[in-house]
Structure 1
Amino acid sequence: MLAPIVIFAFNRPEALQKLLDSLRMNSFYEESDKYIFIDGPRCEEDKAKVDEVVTIARKVASNISISPVNRGLGNSIIAGVSTIIAEYGKAIVLEDDLICAPNFLSYMNQALDFYENDNKIISICGYGLKIKRPRGYVGDVYLLGRSSSWGWATWKDRCEQIDWDIQDWNEFSSNKQMRRAFNKNGSDMYSMLKGYMEGKNHSWAIRFCYNQFKLGKYSICPFISKVDNIGFGEEATNCKQRYSRFKVNMDIAHSHEFLFEKDIESNKRIEKLCYRYHSITLRLYSKIRKTLHI
């Protein structure tokens, strides 16, 4: 059974159109059930663009949910994914600032099937950082202790393990050793979670990653990315800067055959290469460029 495609959109009709155009190039697009969740306008100025998004969505899907109020991306994704995954047992999730390679759906569905019974895997990521495959490494994917929100999928039993309210926050935040361990997946991890708990951001992704860390689970990531994020700019919800430190090798081979390892294990070399993208140095460089609008 193909996983349903769950898309979250807001006020960027051009971005949604580009995402849908890229998905149409995929095998299994027509056969896949599609659900589009559209958040309500934040103000009167948003209304016209949200209406455009609704018009585009109605041309490609009959399963459309339009919020009468602005719920925010985090609340929309948690509620929407929970609803769909309860029915199907799995789901492929996309936001409207992404474009997909023509083999994205093949990769995601195959990986979901292959790793469904591997309980150390919490999610399948379509996005993969630009890193070199270590010499002698077998397989087209690797394990990472940090999931990506840019084109991902998971299963019902994994989703049900997520504590979105972070009920153990007081215990965790007072444990220096645990905070340090969490930051091994990126120097920004604890600060982002702290920001959410203090009401400074509304990120669902950092809560997902924290639960992933707490449960000791991994994400499957591709060496050749099946997704790119084009949503950097002033209209973006979370990525308002134009510069992105997250580089990709986008898949141009379009192969529908992928080498997955049954007993895949984490690789320290790969983890180190991925950590560089979340290092203090690169984050500082990115912040400077954001401040200078370059």
Structure 2
Amino acid sequence: MTNAPILVMVYDRLDSLKKCIQSLQCCPESAESLLYISSDAAYKTEDVSKIEAVRSYISTITGFKQVVPITPKENRGLKGAYDAAIDLIFKEHETIIFLEDDIIVAPDFLKFGNKGLEFYKDDAKIISISGFSHSVFFEVEQQLQSEVYFTNRWCPWGFASWKNRMQHVPELSVTQLASDMNDKSFVKKLDKIGIDLFTAFQRKLHKKEPLVLDYSYVHHMVKNDLYSVTPYTTKTFNIGNDGQGTRTQKNEKYTRFNLATLAKVVPFQFTAFATNKINNTYNFLCNNTQTSKLKRLLNAVGLLQLGYSLHEMKKKWRKRK
């Protein structure tokens, strides 16, 4: 079995990147794996020195079959950098293991991803092998700890997938999204994996923006009844919820997690897809926050779009100050 190439995306968080790479180096499969690292260029002057430090570190990384830096001279933005890196890898490879710089992994993460790619390669119902599981925040029965379940929610916190499935995710127009959001059966399926998605999609409609990246994948999964294979014992964890990232605020639920537990290798076993192994419970419970419930209530009384408009006005006012 050939190991899938690994892609790590990074912008300016050198400390996080080091922790991610160090955890990958603890996986025995790393020595026989290609490592691609996408380091986007700075989009503001004050970030230039940080990007230079990140790229300098990349040049020192060892412990992999080969390290391939992707270092454009111009800033591509998150989606542009992601698309360029994915396209580059899929020119030569049929599979991929993806990580962002703030993801640390268990010592058997690469084994889990590569074995999963092989086990489910002929099952069109499966779109990805997810390293992270929201079950980490709940008590899991001992007899389930080595097993996997199937969920309709895409998770980018360390996953493995195939070229022929990722490239089948179509560009979705705002018009088509609006049509789906008026489809009661689609919304019902969406709500089963968390009511946050409905209002997130509504905000995209308000801004007349298409769904991209994670939202695009989860829409495709819900629409086409596709699944991610997810371990009951998580193989990854996100350390980027400390407030230092460009897209996330500090979340104490994540900062309280004991990272030492990730180092304990729990054996895993894959099972064929079966409807009785579909489990969206953890996603549903984790994503039905008080904020999501409030947004859903505002939408029900016709005030959500007004709220988004006021929020955009507030952002513009802050920029002027």
* TM-score normalised to structure 2 length: 0.79
**Matching of residue 88 in structure 1 with residue 93 in structure 2:** yes
**Distance between the aligned counterparts of 1:214 and 1:79, measured in 2?**
26
Q: 1:252 aligns with which of 252, 263, 273?
A: 263
User: 1:123 maps to which residue?
Assistant: 128
Q: Using a 3 Å threshold, how does the CA distance of structure 1 residues 281 and 42 change in structure 2: closer, same or farther?
A: same
Report the AA paired with residue 172 of structure 1.
D
User: 2:272 maps to which residue?
Assistant: 262
1:59-208 → structure 2 map (5 Å cutoff): 59-60=60-61, 62-129=67-134, 130=136, 131-133=138-140, 140-166=147-173, 168-197=176-205, 198=207, 203-208=212-217
The offset of 1:282, in angstroms, is 7.5
User: 1:10 maps to which residue?
Assistant: 11
The offset of 1:136, in angstroms, is 6.6
Report the AA paired with residue 269 of structure 2.
L
Give the SS at the match of 1:119.
coil
The offset of 1:8, in angstroms, is 0.4
Output one character per residue of 1:207-238: Cα deviation in whole Å (capped at 9) or x when no partner. Answer: 11111111110001111111111112343122
The offset of 1:176, in angstroms, is 3.8
1:29-68 → structure 2 map (5 Å cutoff): 29-60=30-61, 62-68=67-73
Report the AA paired with residue 71 of structure 1.
R
Q: What RMSD over aligned residues (CA atoms) do the two structures have, in Å?
A: 2.7
Report the AA paired with residue 240 of structure 1.
Q
Report the AA paired with residue 150 of structure 1.
W
- Structure 1 gaps, min length 5: 286-294
Output one character per residue of 1:224-254: Cα deviation in whole Å (capped at 9) or x when no partner. Answer: 1111111123431221224346986843332
User: 2:26 maps to which residue?
Assistant: 25
Output one character per residue of 1:22-70: Cα deviation in whole Å (capped at 9) or x when no partner. Answer: 1111111111011011111121111111111101112225411112232
Higher helix share: 2
* TM-score normalised to structure 1 length: 0.86
Report the AA paired with residue 183 of structure 1.
D
Q: Is the 8 A contact 2:113 2:160 kept in 1?
A: yes
Q: Is the 8 A contact 1:78 1:204 kept in 2?
A: no
Q: Which moved more, 1:132-141 or 1:203-212?
A: 132-141
Report the AA paired with residue 162 of structure 1.
V
Number of paired residues?
A: 283
**Matching of residue 213 in structure 1 with residue 218 in structure 2:** no
Q: Which moved more, 1:236-245 or 1:3-12?
A: 236-245
Shift >6 Å, 4+ stretches: 199-202, 246-249
**Distance between the aligned counterparts of 2:160 and 2:255, measured in 1?**
20
Q: Is the 8 A contact 2:11 2:40 kept in 1?
A: yes
Give the SS at the match of 1:29.
helix
Q: Is the 8 A contact 1:245 1:282 kept in 2?
A: no
User: 2:315 maps to which residue?
Assistant: none
Q: Is the 8 A contact 2:144 2:232 kept in 1?
A: no
Q: Which moved more, 1:121-130 or 1:276-285?
A: 276-285
The offset of 1:170, in angstroms, is 3.1
User: 2:284 maps to which residue?
Assistant: 275
- Structure 2 gaps, min length 5: 295-321
Identity of aligned residues (%): 25
Q: Which structure has the greater CA radius of gyration?
A: 2
